[in-house]
Amino acid sequence: MTAQLTNDVSGMTFDMLINGQLVSGSRTLDVIDPATAQVFASCACASEAQLEQAIAAAKAAFPGWAATPIEQRKAIMLQMADAVDAEADTLARLLTCEQGKPLAEALGEVGGVSYFLRHYTQYDLPVEVIEDSESRHIAIHRAPLGVVAAIVPWNFPLVTAISKICSAMITGNTMVLKPAATTPVATLHLGRIVSAIIPAGVLNIVADQNDLGGILSSHPDISKIAFTGSTATGSKVMASASATLKRMTLELGGNDSGIVLDDCDPAEVSAKLFASAFGNNGQICIALKRLYVHETQYEAVCANLAELANNAVVGSGLNADTQLGPVQNRMQYDKLKALIEQTRTQGTIIAGGDCPDLPGYFINPTIVRDIADDAALVTDEQFGPVLPVMSYSNLDEVIARANNTCFGLGNSVWSADSARAAAVAMQLDSGSVWINKHGDIGPDTPFSGAKMSGVGVEMAEHGLMEFTQMKVINLGKNIAV
């Protein structure tokens, strides 16, 4: 394999953005390249005092930013998009080095950053008149909330951050953003890129060692929490925020199922299923994590998936031919290896199940068949390159099996008959259901979770409303004075 780049970042500094200034931390944070399991960069890391400074800066900037005309906010966001495009190669390399994804996917994520920024400039917050009669005029106005705390995960550090930044900025809120402790570098560099464009205090970016999130979620000067991460952590965030009754959107874990109906062509559907399950090495909240295949198609689909897994190229994301990079961090790597060992006694591993002879946190893509619904690999969110494949014979039964989970982020149905698939989709308990695809989301599509997969809505106009206070102005007419 020929490496396109190295993970050498010598000469680069990764400071925090607080009140418009690039600030070194009171401590430093070592960042591991998961392809080597070695430190490749050190970045600034905030103390509690610096976090308080960031919150205070966002609070002080809020009145001015809220009063800034929306067209001016849009112009700033377009400048940000241009600046990101100019630094796309550097951002992508940093993202690959800290997250592990192949460079092509990292470039796609960076492209998503500028795309989100441009897309959100098409939104407005018009006044909605719901009555204009002789006796009264009732209109709904949308006001910003104040300071938003954004807490983002390690699987898509940049695009998850920008989705929250866009929603806050266009609605007139200010923000304190905290990236994941294992993937802070690209986000801090993003802060450097936009620091001269955004008014001081409107966006603040601080890194931590997973020890400052509780301050954000409980802080009296924070009006809203925008969190993406695990269900367990989301529950803690909600509990911490309860004393101040903060607004919040929580985009949490998922255990998405896919149901393959009996009219599918196994050769055609298998490649799409594999991509749905193993994109970003399976480290996607809406990745396909449980696959149910009709008994008439089961053998062929299993064989096809195993072949795809065995032929997949696993390696450093900086190598040109890599399809699947490493697991992002040691904790998740150890969890997945333990889960695979447990699965050996519960199902039949027909591909993978081992680790390649490489430094870093690599696991070969693994396909498991003949496994029961109560096995941990099926009931829990694995969040990695391991896919269980189960057989079914009765459609009503498999719908019940797919719904038998505390999660409800997404599901998919695969069929040659879209109307038939849509009828199944309507019976699945999740915020999103895709037909003949899986995980298709973007800034123009509302995204929300059912059950323990989330609270509130993100993206599109529905998501913007989560960053605003509805203000109903009710005017009486014909009043004698």
Q: Just list the catalytic residues.
A: 251, 285
Structure token digits, residue 468: 């605003």
Residue 248 DSSP SS3: strand
Name which of 447, 461, 458 is nearest 161 in CA terms: 458
Residue 32 DSSP SS3: strand
Sign of the Cα torsion 269, 270, 271, 273 reads positive
Secondary structure element (H or E) that encloses residue 31, with its range: strand 27-33
Name which of 162, 212, 188 is nearest 16 in CA terms: 188
Please report, as a single letter, which amino acid is at residue 307. E
By DSSP bridging, strand 128-132 and strand 136-144 are antiparallel
Give first-to-last CA distance, the chain, whole Å.
84
**Residue entry with tokens 């998919």:** 412
Residue 213 DSSP SS3: helix
Whole-angstrom Cα Rg for the chain: 23
Please name every residue paired with 475 in a beta bridge, in sequence order, or none if there are none: 137
Name which of 273, 270, 281 is nearest 324 in CA terms: 281
Secondary structure element (H or E) that encloses residue 111, with its range: helix 103-120
Please report, as a single letter, which amino acid is at residue 95. L
Residue 391: is it exposed, middle or buried by C-beta count within 10 angstroms (0-12/13-18/19+)? middle
Beta strands in 192-286 (DSSP E): 203-205, 224-228, 247-251, 257-260
How does DSSP assign 113-165, residue by residue?
HHHHHHHHTT-----EEEEE-SSEEEEEEEEE-SEEEEE--SSSHHHHHHHHH
Length of the chain: 481
Q: How distant, in Å, are the alpha carbons of 69, 76, 78, 172, 246 from that of 66?
A: 8, 14, 18, 4, 19
Secondary structure element (H or E) that encloses residue 21, with its range: strand 21-23
Question: Over 274-305, what HEC string results?
Answer: HHHHHHHHHCCCCCCCEEEEECCCHHHHHHHH
